[in-house]
Chain A
Amino acid sequence: MSFRIYNILADRFGKDTLLYFDDTLNPYIQVAPELIQTLCIFMRYNPALKFSFLFSLCGVDYPEKNQITMVYHLFSMKQKMLWVLKTSVRREHPELESIESVWKTAGWFEREIYDLLGVKFTNHSNMKRLLLPDGWVGHPLRKDYEEPLFYHDMETSRHRVS
């Protein structure tokens, strides 16, 4: 079933641009970051695929590979099927095309990723922090994030700093 979908995608984009992995619980394909928007539009609107629902978009930090990986979880109501896409950006200047124009809900996920991992999404309608205060320094879900001793004159450690 999932291989059939991979074949549809491979016919359109070519086998060497899409790396297919099925050793995990959900099979996924890894693509280059420039391709992600075209691929998403194709997967959403192609009548044979119809992945109409993006139910999760999250980021993972890999300092040893110098990468931040974005994981897209799609669902197709028509085929009753889940599909996973992955794409990686470099850690120093993480920038990626926003897919808010494809699935409106992605806007919120992307703001969360920007907040916690610092990935900037281009063509996003409102690229601001989602949860943390606007003046926050750093992106706390990065593995090398270090918590400062104070935030706005409030101690950040449980024990008194002397």
Chain B
Amino acid sequence: MIVTTMDEVINWMRKSSIWYLLFGTACCAIELMQTGGPRTDLDRIGSVFRSTPRQADLMIVAGTVTYKMAERIALLYHQMAEPKYVLSMGSCANCGGLFQNSYSVLKGVDKVIPVDVYVPGCPPRPEALMEGVLKIQEIMMKENYLKNHGERDNEF
């Protein structure tokens, strides 16, 4: 017999099936695919990609974000169901990175959507991205969904 709280069970179920949005904006997306590949199998923690924002829990912003794309990213983010998480992958999504002096590049995706975990690197290795997803799991385990009626604790 196992005794636990309802929140704990919900959190455990949620963190064991993080479905991320199939979405990449630049070369980091190649590394994102590699993370889903057999060597750093993201599937083993229950993480699979979904190609619609309605079914996704996590948005991995993989790559350079231009202003033209930023408006689409904000739209996709608002289409995702609560509770939702954002992982910013690579220097470009974190702060503009190599292209921060460009006229068309957004200097960090946190200018348009709230970000939970930043993964540094150019691009980050699959192991680093895996670590980022594990950090998302840690955040998920700290939530109290029942008490907050599905809203998140650390709302931005």
Contact = CB atoms under 8 A, between A and B. Distances in A.
A116 to B, nearest CB: 10
Interface size bracket, B side: 10 to 19
Contact of B100 (A133, A154, A155, A158): A158
A160 to B, nearest CB: 9
Interface in B58-97: 67-68, 70-71, 95-96
Contact of B103 (A140, A152, A154, A155): A140
Contacts of A145: 103
B107 A156 contact: yes
Contacts of B106: 154
A147 B105 CA distance: 11
A151 interface: yes
A154 B95 contact: no
Nearest to A133: B68
Nearest to A138: B103
B93 to A, nearest CB: 13
**Of listed B95, B103, B104, B108, residue having the most chain A CB within 10 A:** B103
B122 to A, nearest CB: 16
Nearest to B68: A133
Interface in A135-162: 140, 145, 147, 151-152, 154-158
B45 interface: no
A142 to B, nearest CB: 11
Nearest to A140: B103
A145 B107 CA distance: 19
B111 interface: yes
Contact of A152 (B71, B104, B107, B108): B71
Interface of B: 67-68, 70-71, 95-96, 100, 103-104, 106-108, 111-112
7 contacts: A131-B104, A132-B68, A140-B104, A151-B67, A154-B112, A156-B67, A158-B100
